[in-house]
Amino acid sequence: MSETTSTLLYCRCAYAQVVPSGVKNEVLQRLCDAGVSFETVSDLCEMAAHRDPRLKSIAQCGKLKIAACYPRAVKGLFQQAGSPLPEDTEILNMRSQTATEIVESMLG
């Protein structure tokens, strides 16, 4: 096991519907099946638009891995909400990566 455990965040991307549903459903199912602790949010875009205070607590949680969409977009959402992500945050793109790639990286 690694020295520093990462906080895992899964974005359902519920409103834009730009992430293939097969990928996001498989990622969610495999995270549940793995029995790991992870945070899930309905939609990071909506949270940023409403400047949801949970974004600040997420950004401050330490080592972080996020399954969402394009890394540049995710970083921009947190920045827009006044809660920039740490440099070492790993953002996995459910729009362009396979569910297997994402889950292996999140659990690895």
Q: Where are the domains of the chain?
A: 7-107
* 68, 13 Cβ separation under 8 angstroms: yes
Where does the pLDDT of residue 9 fall: very low under 50, low under 70, confident under 90, or very high at 90 and above? very high
- H or E segment at 80? helix 71-80
- Tokens representing 69 are 């969409």
**Model confidence over 10-56: pLDDT tens digits?**
999 988 778 999 999 999 999 999 999 999 999 999 999 999 999 99
pTM of the shown model: 0.92
Where does the pLDDT of residue 2 fall: very low under 50, low under 70, confident under 90, or very high at 90 and above? very low
* 105, 92 Cβ separation under 8 angstroms: yes
Is the pLDDT at 1 greater than 50? The verdict is: no
Q: So what's the pLDDT on residue 64?
A: 96
Residues 6 or more apart whose Cβ sits within 8 Å of residue 17: none
